[in-house]
Amino acid sequence: MKNLKKSKSSVVMWISLFVLSFIACSSEAETDKENTPPEEGKEYVFRILTYNIFHGEKTNGDIDMDRFAEIINNESPDIVALQEVDKGVERSERLDIAMELGQRTGMDSYFFKFRDFQGGDYGSAILSTYPIREEHLIQGYRTGSTGVVIPFVKLEIDQGTYVYFNTSHFSTELEEREVHIKQAVNYYVNKVDRAPTLICGDLNAEPGSSEMEVVFEEFSESDKSLGNTFSTRTGMRKKIDYILHPKNDNWEVMETKRICPGDASDHCALLAVIKYRKP
C-alpha cells in the first residue's frame, strides 16, 4: 500500500512538471513572437488616393459630403490625402469635412489646420485605415498673411513596420512654393533618414518646373503616365497633383488612375496602387 501511494505521488509529480514545462515554453514562444521583428522582404500593397476637394463643393455650388464620399469609396483606398478642407467654415455649412468624410468612408480622419477662415478652420486632412502613431507638423515658409502647414504622419502598417505619409497643398506663389518643396524633401532626407515615405497632394507645380527638380532627386511620380489634373471646371490645362514614392527598388507602382468627376471639385483625384517591399 505504501509503494502504491509512492507511485501515485510520482505520477502526480511528473504530470505537474510536464504542465509547468509546457506553460513555460508557451510563454517563451509568445515572448519570442512579440520580440521578433517582421521578416525582411515582406510586401505590402497600398491603395493611395489624393484629392483636392474644393471644400466639398460641387460644380452646381452645393456642399455634398455624400457625393465626395462616393467618389472616394468607389476606389476603396487605404489612405487618402485631402486638400482644401474646411472645419466649421461658413461657406461649407460649418461642417467638419474631414470627420464627415471619415464617417462615410469608414476611415479614421485627421485634420491639419492652416489658418482661420470665415469663423472656422481651413487646412488639409488624411483619411486612413491604418492607425497614426506620430504626427509632425511643419510650418510652411510664408511671405504674406496666409500660410500652409506641411503635415507628416507615421502610420503603423504592421507590427514594427511604419510608413510616413503626407498631404501637401503648397503655395501658388513661387517663392513660397520653392521653400515648401525643400521643407518636405528635407523632412524625408534628414528628419526620418529616408524612411519609407509617401508625399501626396496639390503641389501647385508642374512636372517640368524648376522647383520639382528638387523633388525628383529623391522621389518618383507614381502617376507619371496620367494627364493633367486641373481644372475640371475651366479646362484641363496642367498637372499639379501627385502621388510620390521614394526613388528606390523597394517601391513598385502596380496601377494608376485619374478620376475626374464632372460634377465635383475643380481637380481630378489620383489613385495609385503601390507595392512596398520591406528591405
Domain ranges in the chain are 1-36, 43-277
* pLDDT given at position 253: 98
Question: Is the torsion defined by CA of 188, 192, 198, 203 positive or negative?
Answer: negative
* pLDDT given at position 33: 45
Q: How far apart are CA 121 and CA 191, in angstroms?
A: 28
Q: Give percent of the chain above pLDDT 70.
A: 86
Q: Are 198 and 165 in contact, with CB atoms under 8 Å apart?
A: yes
* pLDDT given at position 91: 97
Q: Please tell me whether the peptide bond between 225 and the residue prior to it is cis, using omega within 30 degrees of 0.
A: no
Strand duo 43-52 + 79-87: pairing: parallel
| Residue that wins the pLDDT comparison between 44 and 37 | 44
**Averaged pLDDT for residues 93-103:** 99
Find residue 47's DSSP bridge partners.
273
List of residues 6+ apart from 181 with CB closer than 8 A: 170, 203, 205, 211, 212, 214, 215
pTM, to two decimals: 0.85
3-state secondary structure of 204: coil
pLDDT tens digits, one per residue of 42-85: 999 999 999 999 999 999 999 999 999 999 999 999 999 999 99
What fold characterizes domain 43-277? Deoxyribonuclease I; Chain A (3.60.10)
* pLDDT given at position 224: 87
pLDDT tens digits, one per residue of 145-188: 788 999 999 999 999 999 999 999 999 999 999 999 999 999 99
CB atoms under 10 Å from CB of 137, counted, come to 12
Helices (H), the chain: 2-35, 65-73, 97-105, 174-186, 212-216
Pull the grid cell for residue 145: 498673411
**13 pLDDT higher than 80:** no
Amino acid identity for residue 231 in this structure: S
Q: How far apart are CA 59 and CA 62, in angstroms?
A: 7
Question: Is the torsion defined by CA of 125, 71, 276, 29 positive or negative?
Answer: positive
Of 258, 204, 262, 205, residue with least CA distance to 233 = 262
Most distant CA pair in the chain: distance in Å?
Answer: 102
Q: How far apart are CA 45 and CA 31, in angstroms?
A: 28
Sheet holding 120-128, edge to edge: 108-117, 120-128, 79-87, 43-52, 269-277, 251-259
The number of angstroms, rounded, from the C-alpha of 170 to the middle of its chain's C-alpha atoms is 17
Query: What b-and-e string marks burial along 238-252, b requiring 16 or more CB atoms within 10 Å of the CB?
Result: bbbbbbbbbeeeebe
pLDDT tens digits, one per residue of 262-272: 999 999 999 99
Q: How confident is the model at residue 29 (pLDDT cuts 50, 70, 90)?
A: very low
Q: How far apart are CA 152 and CA 199, in angstroms?
A: 9
Q: How confident is the model at residue 19 (pLDDT cuts 50, 70, 90)?
A: very low
Of 240, 243, 241, 265, residue with least CA distance to 256 = 243
Q: How confident is the model at residue 11 (pLDDT cuts 50, 70, 90)?
A: very low
Helices then strands, counting H and E runs in the chain, come out as 5, 12
Q: Are 240 and 206 in contact, with CB atoms under 8 Å apart?
A: yes
